[in-house]
Amino acid sequence: MANGYAGKILKVNLSTREISAIDTARYEEFGGGVGMGAAIFWDLAVVPGDWDLQDAFDPRNVISLMTGPMAATGVPGGGRTSVCAIAPEIFPTPQFHRTSFGGRFATMLKLAGWDGVVVQGKAERPVWINIVNDKVTIEDAGRLWGVNTLETQGEITGIVGGRTRFGQQWYDIDDEMTTARPQIVCIGPVGESMSRVAALIHGSGVSARTGGFGGVFGSKNLKAVSVIGTGSVEVADPAGVVDARLWHTRNHSRATASPGASCCMPCLNPDRRRDSYYGGESMCADQYWYMPPQQGGGMAMGGGNTAEQMRGADIAIKWGLCTWATKFGGAMTMNVPGAAPPFKGRLPMEPGMGWYIKYLYELGVLGPGKKIESHPLPMDQWDSLNFREVFCDAIARKIGIGADLAEGVLEAAKKWGRLEEDLNSGALRLPAWGASWHHSLPGVEWAYSYIFMTGDPMWHGFFSILTGGGGMMGGFGGPSKTAQELVESIAPKLVPFDDDPLMLSNCWKGEEAFKTGIYSPHKAKLLSWCRRFAGFYNESMSICEMLLPGFTGPSPELEHRYYRAVTGSRNTFADTMEIGRKIWNMERAIRVVAGRHRDQEKFAPFMHMKGATFPISTNKPVYQDGKWSFEDQADLYLDRKGVETFKTNFYKLEGWNVDTGWPTRTTLEGLGMKKVADLMAAKGKLGA
């Protein structure tokens, strides 16, 4: 089918060892990436109807690694890989989840002639999948089981490419010549033990960190997927791609990257290991997983990186640990007098599993010989690198307290009899579905996405919309526009809701919050727009959401120009938003069939308490008394009645039943999804 697509998707059944190809054109209506991944999951995992879709480690779970049409075409940031499956990390019940990772895997997969890899079943013994252009084999991974992620990639690279100086020497591969090394996604010991906090690792620091998909690989006895390709990808309008790049550079260039030993966006900034064997970089979640002991008010993101921090990141990467799920506090700690009592006025940015066990230790309930036995963790060395190493080992081998932690922090708290107490006190600061905090307030669009999806939406485009248009850093340096200017510049771009600027208001107090603010039908439109745009351009076209969008800059015109130049599609921007809506409803249908209901879509208690907001990027536009202004919303928290009102408004807008949150037949058939509606009706899961 060309025009950005390789034309086929690899399907591997590890139980039967059957290797086959799916025609990409069959799923073209879903774009690529998450869209195709969700549609394939529906066909392979939902339609058969032989399981309840609630056990992530069931061999019938289907995990896909999907590219988008932008990969390997020269579109900047277009090479992300989307991952979809039932995710073990989701609490209290595993659900369909999607995440993504960067690096070079998607590009190489396209060059090998594949738009994605779909894996089902379970191998009898450890294996890895070896893709060399059209040749695909299932290889024995016995000697790789128990090996860390960096050594695993080194071993596989040697098997595929031999003793080659990659980038310097040509070598034969499948009757072709290349200087490239294979690109590999693998798991470490944490994933092998089917931990719910295991990541998929690619390179030296790129990983799929949410969902616990490393555990899914482990449950399938799948150690790695390796790919090397020597092909190319056709685009409809090569000159159009170049023109879009030049227009972007000349009119909307980014600020010059700041130098340093490391950075949390290495694809856009200097890479401390540019000449290394593995390449890649430790991203922000890994970079701040270990923070040396601090003094004073903590450390701001992006500065002061140390060798110790990088050693900490390497520990997590080698073991294949999900650093989002196991956070020890994150990039900074700030004075927040109104924070929940367990924090004593000093709120870490990201207090996850690591922070929680220290809290219980200081409370006197966790430790050697305590009610919660801490063996083998040296709790008196909590802020040391040695502790991090023992922490990973305990989880990977499920030794002592590690067996509980391997199930996730909320499952551990439940087993220890502390779940309700520590949720209600605010000590467990995870917004919804057991997912770690990630900029979830005061930007309510990010927060609402937590409950309607399965946790963190991982879409930094929210910052671009509501912090003066300058992206995340607009919140640190102050807005670059007045509130009125921001609204006037962005609202016309938000097709099909471009006639409603009030959806940009973040007013959260009094009647105005229900009338035009964060609980209103207006705000429901903004969330719906974000899901459509992100679902299509970032998650299915697979354009990096840390690079684009930029809504007071080139977006959404730039993304649409790239899309048309690569694919040759005549779709308008509004048409692509409708595809995004279709993808969103496919995800929704999967979750509803698996048991999702309105009553489950709730926030953790701390989101309704003072101190819910972590005070960065707090200047938000509000409309009150007939005018726009910026308001510092460091004290924002959510009203329970308001959230329920918002849910009703959002369900109405999406065409879902307001009592259940289930899509209706009218909605699904209007999107060309009659077969989906029929199956949901047969299961009694179709909205009335």
> Domains along the chain?
8-228 (3.60.9.10), 288-424 (no CATH), 444-581+612-656 (no CATH)
Rg (CA), the chain: 24
Q: Please give the C-alpha separations between residue 75 and each of 124, 201, 255, 461, 570, in angstroms, as whole numbers.
A: 40, 24, 19, 18, 19
Q: How far apart are the first and last CA of the chain?
A: 39
Query: What confidence score (pLDDT) does residue 254 get?
Result: 61
Q: Indicate left, alpha or beta for 338 from its phi (over 0: left) and psi (-120 to 50: alpha).
A: alpha
Mutual angle of helices 573-593 and 521-533, in 10-degree steps: 100
CA distance 11 to 37: 12
10-residue block means of pLDDT along the chain (688 residues)?
92 99 98 99 98 98 99 94 98 97 94 98 99 98 98 95 78 86 97 98 87 99 98 97 93 57 48 43 77 57 63 93 94 91 94 98 98 99 97 99 99 99 98 92 94 92 59 43 89 96 97 98 98 97 88 90 98 99 99 98 98 90 94 96 99 99 99 99 98
Q: Which 3 state secondary structure label does DSSP give 257? A: coil
Q: Which residue has the tokens 């579109």?
A: 75
State both tokens at 523: 């705000």
Which residue matches tokens 């912090």? 467
Amino acid 196: pLDDT: 98
For residue 608, give every residue at least 6 positions away whose Cβ sits within 8 Å of its Cβ, in sequence order, or none. Answer: 637, 638, 639, 640, 643
Question: pTM of this prediction?
Answer: 0.95
pLDDT digit string (tens) for 110-142?
999 999 999 999 999 999 999 999 999 999 999
Do the Cβ atoms of 106 and 67 come closer than 8 Å? yes
What amino acid is encoded at 55 in this protein? D
Q: What is the DSSP letter of 73?
A: T
- Using DSSP's 3-state secondary structure scheme, residue 520 falls into coil
Cα separation of 669 and 15, whole Å?
A: 35
Pairing of β 171-173 and β 176-178: antiparallel
CA-to-CA separations, 46 to 85, 239, 522, in angstroms, rounded: 11, 42, 34
Q: CA 255 to CA 445: how far, in whole Å?
A: 27
Return d(Cα 216, Cα 205) in angstroms, integer. Answer: 20
Structure tokens at 406: 């391997």
pLDDT reported for residue 299: 41
- What pLDDT score does 307 carry? 78
pLDDT at 229: 97
What is the total residue count of the chain? 688
Q: Is the distance from CB of 285 to CB of 323 less than 8 angstroms?
A: yes
